[in-house]
């Protein structure tokens, strides 16, 4: 039996108005490292300084990787400062505060990211930023933050959307997205304008607060592909998640690839779909799977955020994520669009989409096995 293949065509597709930041920040997809996949809440300043130093030592900085990003669990859980209203860093994890860690990262010529959520609490139950956008944006700018990952947890009932978005169903045996919805009740009308939704408004509030600062902070919308984010994400942030969380299991990587294939026509300069952090170096991925995973994320022009411990990363996996040809395509300053499938989605008979013919363009293929 012939293996089905994902075929990617290099075409330029115009996108809607995008958020343009000063000095070219966000024009190209981000390159960096994030703590969550490897460390979750078990973080300390040492994790981030190790990652930053390994960026320099292993050649990642020279290849263009620049962000060292703190994910969830960096603050105390007890609440905000009673006087200033600010989120309080956990000084047992960050003895010099987040600003102290930021200064050390900056001294290496790198940038630092932080995490919050567009709700009352983060996904791990820490104070989040809904209703405190101006205070938090000003705090992060003062600390020297360069990147914000903004999650979608802890949403109060008065901020939930009036109707439901169709979340793709992936229940069939091959973990393919089959085009139906996991939720079948309360769906919004097909012509519903999701840019007017409460979800979009929650994310716009932080966009506006960041824009009011005297520091450029790259804004990452982590709403898990909800609320038709591809239709309003580019004018709200520099990158937007297209699907739910990744795991270090190959079937989940393929599922994310397939879900994201439907949204790549919204990706170009200044606006990038985020397929989630990389799992190269984690779990039981084979080297071939790790290569395919990285190659496809680069082809989609997803942000490439390493999600493993760099001090124990194998030489082979270092080479995977320093592939100069893939990084050259990913960071191309002239051609901003991703490689987009012209076999669109997962039609049961793998039918050809006439709107995306090859026309002699360069293609890449992923053999999926029988």
> Is 245 known to be catalytic?
yes
What's the pLDDT tens digit per position in 331-360? 999 999 999 764 444 443 333 444 544 443
What's the pLDDT tens digit per position in 89-134? 999 999 999 999 999 999 999 999 999 999 999 999 999 999 999 9
Q: Check 90, 169, 245, 332 and give the catalytic one.
A: 245
User: For residue 85, which of 134, 41, 118, 38 has the smallest C-alpha distance?
Assistant: 134
Residue 6 has pLDDT above 80, yes or no: no
Which residue carries 């069939």 as its tokens? 172
Report whether 148 contacts 113 (CB < 8 A).
Answer: yes
* CA pair distance 149, 170, nearest whole angstrom: 26
> Is 151 known to be catalytic?
yes
Average pLDDT estimate for 295-318: 97
Q: 66 to each of 177, 181, 305, 351, how far by Cα in Å? A: 33, 38, 10, 41
* CA pair distance 80, 89, nearest whole angstrom: 10
pTM of the model: 0.89
Instruction: Specify the pairing of strand 5-10 against strand 339-341.
Output: antiparallel
Q: How confident is the model at residue 141 (pLDDT cuts 50, 70, 90)?
A: very high
Q: Check 71, 72, 146, 151 and give the catalytic one.
A: 151
CA dihedral 225, 229, 234, 239 (to 10 degrees): -20
Q: 43 to each of 103, 105, 125, how far by Cα in Å? A: 18, 16, 15
pLDDT at position 21:
93
Q: Supply φ then ψ for residue 39, to 5 degrees.
A: -110, -20
pLDDT at position 198:
98
Q: Supply φ then ψ for residue 266, to 5 degrees.
A: -100, 5
Instruction: Please state which architecture CATH assigns to domain 5-367.
Output: Alpha-Beta Barrel (3.20)
What are the residues facing 31 on neighbouring strands? Answer: 304
Residue 268 has pLDDT above 50, yes or no: yes
Average pLDDT estimate for 250-278: 91
What's the pLDDT tens digit per position in 149-201? 999 999 999 999 999 888 766 554 444 455 567 777 888 998 999 999 999 99
Report whether 167 contacts 176 (CB < 8 A).
Answer: no
Residue 10 has pLDDT above 70, yes or no: no
Q: What is the mean pLDDT of the chain?
A: 88
- CA angle in degrees (0–180, nearest 5) for 350-293-37: 130
Residue with the larger pLDDT of the pair 14 and 217: 217
pLDDT at position 357:
43
Report whether 313 contacts 68 (CB < 8 A).
Answer: no
Which residue carries 């393929």 as its tokens? 254
What's the pLDDT tens digit per position in 200-253? 999 999 999 999 999 999 999 999 999 999 999 999 999 999 999 999 999 889
* CA pair distance 219, 147, nearest whole angstrom: 6
């Amino acid at each position: 039996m012939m293996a089905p293949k994902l075929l990617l065509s290099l075409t330029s597709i115009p996108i809607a108005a995008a958020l343009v930041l000063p000095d070219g920040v966000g024009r190209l997809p981000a390159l960096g490292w994030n703590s969550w996949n490897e460390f979750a809440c078990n973080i300390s300043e040492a994790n981030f300084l190790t990652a930053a130093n390994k960026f320099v030592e292993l050649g990642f900085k020279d290849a263009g990787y620049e962000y060292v990003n703190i994910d969830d669990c960096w603050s105390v859980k007890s609440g905000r400062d009673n006087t200033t209203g600010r989120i309080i860093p956990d000084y047992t994890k960050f003895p010099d505060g987040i600003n102290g860690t930021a200064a050390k990262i900056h001294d290496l010529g790198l940038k630092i990211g932080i995490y919050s959520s567009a709700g009352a609490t983060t996904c791990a139950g820490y104070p989040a930023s809904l209703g405190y956008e101006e205070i938090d944006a000003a705090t992060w700018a003062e600390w020297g933050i360069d990147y914000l990952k903004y999650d979608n947890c802890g949403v109060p009932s008065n901020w939930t959307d009036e109707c439901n978005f169709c979340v793709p169903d992936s229940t069939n045996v091959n973990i393919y997205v089959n085009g139906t919805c996991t939720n079948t009740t309360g769906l919004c009308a097909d012509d519903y304008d999701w840019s007017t939704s409460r979800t979009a408004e929650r994310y716009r509030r932080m966009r506006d607060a960041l824009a009011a600062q005297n520091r450029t902070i790259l804004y990452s919308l982590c709403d898990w592909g909800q609320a038709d984010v591809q239709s309003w994400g580019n004018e709200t942030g520099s990158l937007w998640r297209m699907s739910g969380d990744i795991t270090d299991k190959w079937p989940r990587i393929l599922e994310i690839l397939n879900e994201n294939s439907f949204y790549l026509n919204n990706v170009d300069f200044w606006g990038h779909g985020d397929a989630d952090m990389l799992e190269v170096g984690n779990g039981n991925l084979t080297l071939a799977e790790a290569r395919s995973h990285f190659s496809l994320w680069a082809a989609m022009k997803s942000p490439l955020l390493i999600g493993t411990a760099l001090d124990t990363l194998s030489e082979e996996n270092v080479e995977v994520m320093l592939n100069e040809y893939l990084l050259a395509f990913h960071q191309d300053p002239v051609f901003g669009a991703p490689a987009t499938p012209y076999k669109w989605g997962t039609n049961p008979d793998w039918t050809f989409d006439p709107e995306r013919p090859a026309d002699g363009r360069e293609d890449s293929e992923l053999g999926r096995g029988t």
